[in-house]
Structure 1
Amino acid sequence: MIWHFRLITLIPVVMSLLGSVSCFVIGTEAELRALSQVMQGRFNNSSSTLLIGEVVGGIDYYLIGIALLIFGYGIYELVISDIDPRLHDQSTVRRNLLSIESLDGLKQKLTKVIVVALIVTAFKSMVSFKVSTANELLMYCAGVLMLAFSAWLIGKVEKH
């Protein structure tokens, strides 16, 4: 009886998968809107920065969708059942991205995707950042260094 209560976790699994699809649709809409502006030639040097921001924003939605997908997949695998059919074939080859074996593994994968999404969001803001003083230039450079450092840290964590 109590064992069947684990099925209540289907609610967050389904909602995160629907949220993932929503993010993919919104991201695709942003990318198509930017592509439409390029194809119609409705941009110039001043609006190209906004166009790049729109493209990067679409990528950001994709990354959030991937995070929701990993969350839903991970919760399902941890609580309900293994999804990967290759597990039943005794195959040694598994996809590492969606291989969730513990709650810590799920948190680690989600953290990586969220940090990458934050890097993309920061990049989107930095593209339209106007530098007019030495102090602003210093802040801009510090932001670039922090982004590079966080990307380096993700690579270091991935190797361990």
Structure 2
Amino acid sequence: MLEKLFENGLWKSRFVVILAVIFGFLGAVILFLVASVDIIGVAKFVITNVLNGTHPEHFHEDIVAGIIGAVDLYLIAVVMLIFSFGIYELFISKIDAACNEENENCNTILAIHSLDQLKDKIAKVIIMVLIVNYFQRVLHTKYETPLELLYFALAITALAVGLYFLGKVGKK
């Protein structure tokens, strides 16, 4: 009886991960809102400068950097969503709303069946976040020597090769 009571309590303790699900989802919503406010800020900047007829130095770079920064936040928000959905499905319950009731087709975008699958999905999105972050930083970098341009080209090549192999992971 003590063993059954202990095992039952141990099994029910998995519900503590609901905190990670709730706060992970809340973090995702906050990041989506912040990124959207950033996009609105870029739009105001563009509209203000266009209406005033001004064209500040680094105008295009500032616009692209602002949008890329927002994309970076959106991607991190997606990581948080994938984490929340995955943890919920692994520890609590399958998400019934993701399945079509008529023919039982389930949306597989956020379907997680193992911890390794969750790690793989999160890792892919994190790699995309790093690439977007790299692109954002490159916009404001000054290249003064041919060697620096060569390093830049090599970095782009390495990113392309990495993305190619990342696309091959998990496919047969």
* TM-score, L = length of structure 1: 0.91
The list of structure 1 runs, each at least 4 consecutive aligned residues, that deviate by more than 6 angstroms after superposition, is none
CA contact (8 A) 2:98 2:107 kept: no
* 1:7 and 2:15 are equivalent in the alignment: yes
Q: Equivalent residues in 2 for 1:117-156 (5 A)?
A: 117-156=129-168
Q: How many residues are treated as equivalent by the alignment?
A: 160
Give the equivalent residue in structure 1 for 2:4. Answer: none
**Bigger mean CA deviation after superposition, 127-136 or 149-158:** 149-158
**Higher Rg of the two aligned structures:** 2
Please report how far the alpha carbon of residue 89 of structure 1 lies from its aligned counterpart in structure 2 after TM superposition: 3.8
Offset of residue 50 of structure 1? 1.9
Q: Percent of counterpart pairs with the same letter?
A: 32
* Cα displacement (A) at 1:26: 1.2
Aligned: 1:85 with 2:116: no
Q: Distance in 2 between matches of 1:43 and 1:158?
A: 47
In the alignment, the residues of structure 2 paired with residue 86 and residue 139 of structure 1 have an alpha-carbon distance, to the nearest angstrom, of 45
Write the mapping of 1:65-80 to structure 2, written as runs, cut at 5 A.
65-80=77-92
- Other-structure match for 1:32: 40
1:96 Cα deviation from its structure 2 partner: 2.1
Q: 8 Å contact 1:37–1:43 — kept in the other structure?
A: no
Name the structure 2 match of 1:50. Answer: 62
Deviation of residue 19 (structure 1)?
Answer: 0.7
Give the gaps of 5 or more residues in structure 2.
Answer: 1-8
Question: Structure 1 residues 128 and 88, CA, compared in 2 at 3 Å: closer, same or farther?
Answer: closer
Measured after TM superposition, the shift of residue 23 of structure 1 is: 0.8
| RMSD, aligned CA | 1.8
